[in-house]
Structure 1
Amino acid sequence: MDPLTAVGLAANVLQFVQFAGSLIATGNEIFHSAQGATADNLILDNIYGKLETLSEKLGNKGRMTTPTTEQERTIAALATQCKEDCSELLGVVRKLRVDGTKNRRWRSVKASLRTVWDGRRMDAMESRLERAQRILSLHIIGATRETISTMSETVNALKDQGDRLNINQSSNFDEIRQQLDHVRQEISIVQRASEHERDQHLPLSISPQDIDGLVERLRQVVIAERNIAKEQDVLANIDYEQRSARHEDIPESVENFEWIFNGEFAHWLEKENGMFWINGKAGSGKSTLMKFVAGNDKTYELLSKWAPGGFAVGSHYFWSPGSGMQKSLQGLIQSLLHDIFQKCPELMSLAFPQRWIQGIGGSAVVDQESWSEKGLCQALDNLAGQECLPIKLCFFIDGADELIADHIMLCEYLVRLTRSPNIKVCISSRPWVVFCDVFSEMQVQSLILHNISRGYISKHVRKRLESHPGWQILSAKEEDKEDFINSIIERAQGTFLWIFFVMRFLSTTLATDTLRNLRRRLDYLPSDLHDLFKVMIRSVDSIYYEDMARILLTAQHGDGPLSLHCTLS
């Protein structure tokens, strides 16, 4: 028997004790009126109905688990005895209802009972009721304190789990602790009053309504704890392995991307809805920029003006070499839901209304195996369909071209979501025709990254060369050096990844080569990134071909990114 159940049962016992005591000790006067015996029977019917209700409440103990503490065992024993007494009273009242005559004049229920029972049975019941009333207050107080202690332990465990999940539930825990403190204060008042009444041999003043009030407050705490546990369960189950792996693998920006906050993108963050498309060639720095933007304080400052009532940011980084979830629509939706649920758990009941209702009572809303792409998309649709959300939502989706699915379907789905005034999406991809066509037709704002990156690539190339000792001693005219730098920048076509590999390639002979040979090396390298990779593979010494082939095949057919240990072994 859990402590809260014990307190509830104690309230039922107290209700019976006080009602039965009033019947026997005080006596309910039943006088004939103009209605005669009809009035008598009416009162007896009311008494009978009340006793039936109390009998049913006391009988609920049979469906409870075995008592584990002395207080629970005492309350359970009292309930058993009161159930038996209630059954006896029901039998007596039933007999009075049947045997009562029109001309009989009852002075009290007690007098009526004595016509059915002998004095010893009546006195024995009175004694049992008085005993139950004397000891009940002590055990009600003890059981309530035990309930509060158990609930406090549960709250602490949930708080620890919430901290591990990084879920925003602080206000929920504050409210629960306030409720428990309030109950502690009330039970302290009851305890002081009970001790005084016991010392003065006074009747117990606590009423069943007082206990019912305590039980109801504690039940509300239980419901709040279950909701917190459900929110944590959903967040834990909607997560998946490698969800954040791609984000963590993207290097931090070595370039200054602050320029992104000086134009149309900043205006979109601050004032507009809909979508914003960042497109660029492979290796142009889209992922690095998206990571920079999604986690930048300036982004959050601008979004706070768009959503003064609060907002949540969700992000996903598609990655075709990664696991199935990292390149699927289902992985995208789970990532976005995970992020916004972490910030605003209240959204769960709006996203999964039917499942949330079915989960009331402590059962799980959903387990990890039951997520489906259709159901997850519907969850976001449910949020988009709300006229008013607790907070607004901004999603950052990187590498949409790496989705292994229908790209048109993805674009149309996201455009549909952003028709909601509460949701907007920033998406990045290569400038494939499918994205150009859909986003052009939908009049989505865009930014072409490789056109903007030229100036930053120029700074990067000059910095790398000028910091290299070989460049300082290179025997060549300054204008020829400048022409060589411009050739590198022009060949890059705004692609940071191409620059990264080419600069490493040129740096290996920068200290020994002439400028003429450096230019030949540059001309030898293809401008296309895919062709550049072919050159790099062909440049590997033939004695390493077998090892290289093994690593590449393992990476190609693996379920996810390779660990360093796997690569070396």
Structure 2
Amino acid sequence: MSGIEPVAAFSLTCNILQVVCIGRETVRGALQVYHDGKIDHTLTENAAVLESLSREIMTLTTPVVISSSAFNYPTRQDKQLFQLAERCQVAVRDLGEEVDFLSGSQNKARSAAMITNAFKKMWRRSRLERLDQELREAEGLLQAGLLTTIYERCKKTNGALLSLRADLQSFIIEYCQRNAQLEGLVKKHITGEIPNSMQDTKAHVPHTPTTDDDSINHHIRQARKDETRRHEDARQDAQRAGLLQSLEYGRMNERRNQIREAHPKTFQWVLSDGSDGTDDQRGQRSDGGSDGNDTQSWDRFCDWLRSTEKVYWINGKPGSGKSTLIKHLLNELQTRKNLELWKTDPVVVSHFFWRPGPVMQHSIKGLLLSLLHQLASKDKAAVNQIIKMDEFRMLNKETETDWSENELAICLGNIMSCYSRPVVFFLDGLDEVLPDDGALRLLEVINRLSNIGDHKMCLGSRPEPIFVRELSSVPQFRLENLNKSDLQRYCEDNITIPPHYKMVMPKGFELPRYQGHCPGHYFTKSNPPSREDLHAWLVISLLEKADGVFLWVRLTVNAVNKALCKEETVEDLARRLDSLPGDMDASFWVWIFHYNKLNK
């Protein structure tokens, strides 16, 4: 036999015919957009179907497929078919670009005016008209006899039509019903010759069941169902994509991404389960205060992750590292493992309020948009369900400005109610909420959300009176009371004494000894400190003034390192440390303002 295998050729022909039909429909839809400026969402569905057909055509025309189908030498019809296949793939690519352009015009970067302008330039219109002409020519070539010729080759092979995919048989029948020109050429073969092919097959296979007709009809019905399902899936994908796009706003993830990663081997105590026996159930953590016996009480975080308690509150001074800690918890595998002991396969979403950022980064509306976007991107079924609840309203949202805060709150409540997985929210910087929204209203929103379904919330804020009043009864800890060992590790790892630094001790100056000496011993000019002694003195001096504030430590360590590089004397270093403001009082912000001056 010469030429491509008949069934493969006929399948390829059917795929090309499908591209022609759907492609011309897409061209008409695109031209209509340029006419009235309104996007038809079926364009994206058609583009997805065309892309799928293009992949099928590529599969059928690859050398591997051809060589495996007893292909010896291409017939004239085969050459025509391959040329049509190549033209169709180019058309699919060009149509995909047009649909991408039109779909992209719905975001803020483009507008209806841009579409109108492009239309006036005529380039895109002429391109669409050219594509339509090429598709018409392809259809004309098929109708001129190529389809019938290939079909006749297929029919001559016993049982070949029965091996043809049922969805392609169904398509040909439906196509003929819509196109009178092909009715006499193909429909009579498809509807009349399949029984003959069945009889031929039965003659060669005596034990073939007598239910072949029912089997073929079943496959055709199933193929139609599959095609309907594929179209429905494509439609729902386009709807979900449109909804997600409407929930996005500029710089949505900026604050989360700009937060520094935790310093190595810090915050390890947060996820400790107390298996070493040092803490009781309430959680006792000793951080060695000034008297060495400063023990702080806290509710162990890993216990909360595993429990049915809904809310946990991480609070602390400004700059104590709350945001860094919460980001650390989000990234830690141990957090997920503990949550798995509460519920199987939980979804973790987060939001970080940021007062210096644009309004959306510290408003309640921005919070709702962010949470809804994250949840919608992780559960297709839940999104489909909330779209069905109010399809008209949901599908008319194009940007975040189309949403009201009340609509977002209702939609978020709906998706949480029907969500298939448990959800854990990490919300940081509650005290940085937009003043016009206010902390009280934010807490009301959080309280409503916490009462929907079986979900959990970890909240982070400064211990301002309103948060203390509303959250005092939930599990919690005060970060600056528990992070001294973390600050110490940071100082030890980051304070660097250059190799060239000279230990110059002026006459009469004394430096306290901290490294392996009893209190009251000092280094002097005649007994200067070693590099290790100086390092220990710097670490302890900074810790005594830090009062649990990570930001203060980080900035101060930078200043000290620069001073060491400039070879300030030990006396000058001591004077510098004495002059540094402690904690985050008002003088600290003055110091920040004059930071460069301090490093000269």
Same fold (TM over 0.5): yes
Whole-Å separation in 1 of the counterparts to 2:468 and 2:573:
38
Which of 310, 318, 321 in structure 2 is aligned with 1:285? 321
Q: What residue number does 2:556 align with?
A: 502
Q: What residue number does 1:10 align with?
A: none
Aligned-residue offset at 1:397: 1.0
Which secondary structure does the structure 2 equivalent of 1:497 belong to? Answer: helix
Q: What residue number does 1:218 align with?
A: 227
* Compared CA separation, residues 286 and 351, structure 1 to 2 (3 A): farther
Which secondary structure does the structure 2 equivalent of 1:508 belong to? Answer: helix
1:149-188 residue pairs with structure 2 within 5 A?
A: 185-187=165-167
Q: Give yes or no for the alignment of 1:423 onto 2:459.
A: no
Which of 515, 531, 536 in structure 1 is aligned with 2:587? 531
Aligned-residue offset at 1:214: 4.4
Q: What residue number does 2:29 align with?
A: none
Which secondary structure does the structure 2 equivalent of 1:306 belong to? Answer: coil
Q: What residue number does 2:66 align with?
A: none
Q: What residue number does 1:372 align with?
A: 404
User: Which amino acid in 2 is paired with 1:197?
Assistant: E
Whole-Å separation in 2 of the counterparts to 1:215 and 1:365:
32
Which secondary structure does the structure 2 equivalent of 1:431 belong to? Answer: coil
1:394-433 residue pairs with structure 2 within 5 A?
A: 394-404=424-434, 405-433=437-465
User: Which amino acid in 2 is paired with 1:185?
Assistant: R
Identity of aligned residues (%): 25
Q: Give yes or no for the alignment of 1:302 onto 2:338.
A: yes
Whole-Å separation in 2 of the counterparts to 1:183 and 1:459:
71
Q: Give yes or no for the alignment of 1:519 onto 2:563.
A: no
8 Å CA contact 1:316–1:396 kept in 2: the answer is yes
Which structure has the highest helix share of the two?
1
User: Taking structure 1 as the reference length, what is the TM-score of the superposition?
Assistant: 0.57
Q: What residue number does 1:49 align with?
A: none
Aligned-residue offset at 1:492: 0.5
Which secondary structure does the structure 2 equivalent of 1:422 belong to? Answer: coil
Q: What residue number does 2:423 align with?
A: 393
1:8-157 residue pairs with structure 2 within 5 A?
A: none
* Compared CA separation, residues 284 and 320, structure 1 to 2 (3 A): same
Which secondary structure does the structure 2 equivalent of 1:314 belong to? Answer: strand
Whole-Å separation in 2 of the counterparts to 1:514 and 1:339:
54
User: Which amino acid in 1 is paired with 2:268?
Assistant: E
Which secondary structure does the structure 2 equivalent of 1:416 belong to? Answer: helix
Which of 256, 261, 286 in structure 1 is aligned with 2:271? 261
Whole-Å separation in 1 of the counterparts to 2:268 and 2:320:
16
Whole-Å separation in 2 of the counterparts to 1:465 and 1:201:
86
Unmatched segments (≥5 aa) in structure 2: 1-16, 23-80, 101-161, 173-185, 200-212, 274-299, 506-510, 515-521, 523-533
Which of 444, 466, 470 in structure 2 is aligned with 1:434? 466
8 Å CA contact 1:397–1:425 kept in 2: the answer is yes
Bigger shift: residues 215-224 or 285-294: 215-224
Whole-Å separation in 1 of the counterparts to 2:374 and 2:392:
22
Whole-Å separation in 1 of the counterparts to 2:595 and 2:263:
28
Q: What residue number does 2:292 align with?
A: none
Bigger shift: residues 508-517 or 326-335: 508-517
Which of 241, 244, 247 in structure 1 is aligned with 2:250? 241
User: Which amino acid in 2 is paired with 1:456?
Assistant: D
Aligned-residue offset at 1:415: 2.4
* Compared CA separation, residues 300 and 210, structure 1 to 2 (3 A): closer
Q: Give yes or no for the alignment of 1:197 onto 2:193.
A: yes
8 Å CA contact 2:166–2:220 kept in 1: the answer is no
8 Å CA contact 1:314–1:339 kept in 2: the answer is yes
User: Which amino acid in 1 is paired with 2:578?
Assistant: D
Bigger shift: residues 188-197 or 464-473: 188-197
Which secondary structure does the structure 1 equivalent of 2:380 belong to? Answer: coil
Whole-Å separation in 2 of the counterparts to 1:209 and 1:507:
79
Aligned-residue offset at 1:157: 7.8
Aligned-residue offset at 1:464: 2.8
Aligned-residue offset at 1:3: 5.6
Name which one, 1 or 2, has greater alpha-carbon Rg.
1
Q: What residue number does 2:546 align with?
A: 492
Which of 475, 483, 487 in structure 2 is aligned with 1:445? 475
Aligned-residue offset at 1:420: 3.4
Which secondary structure does the structure 1 equivalent of 2:355 belong to? Answer: coil
* Compared CA separation, residues 184 and 226, structure 1 to 2 (3 A): farther
Which secondary structure does the structure 2 equivalent of 1:307 belong to? Answer: coil
User: Which amino acid in 2 is paired with 1:536?
Assistant: I
Q: Give the root-mean-square deviation of aligned CA atoms.
A: 4.2
Aligned-residue offset at 1:221: 2.0
Aligned-residue offset at 1:385: 4.4
Whole-Å separation in 1 of the counterparts to 2:452 and 2:358:
31
User: Which amino acid in 2 is paired with 1:248?
Assistant: N
* Compared CA separation, residues 400 and 185, structure 1 to 2 (3 A): same
Aligned-residue offset at 1:330: 0.9
Q: What residue number does 2:362 align with?
A: 327
Whole-Å separation in 2 of the counterparts to 1:536 and 1:281:
17
Q: Give yes or no for the alignment of 1:465 onto 2:495.
A: yes
Whole-Å separation in 2 of the counterparts to 1:352 and 1:444:
35
Bigger shift: residues 281-290 or 264-273: 264-273
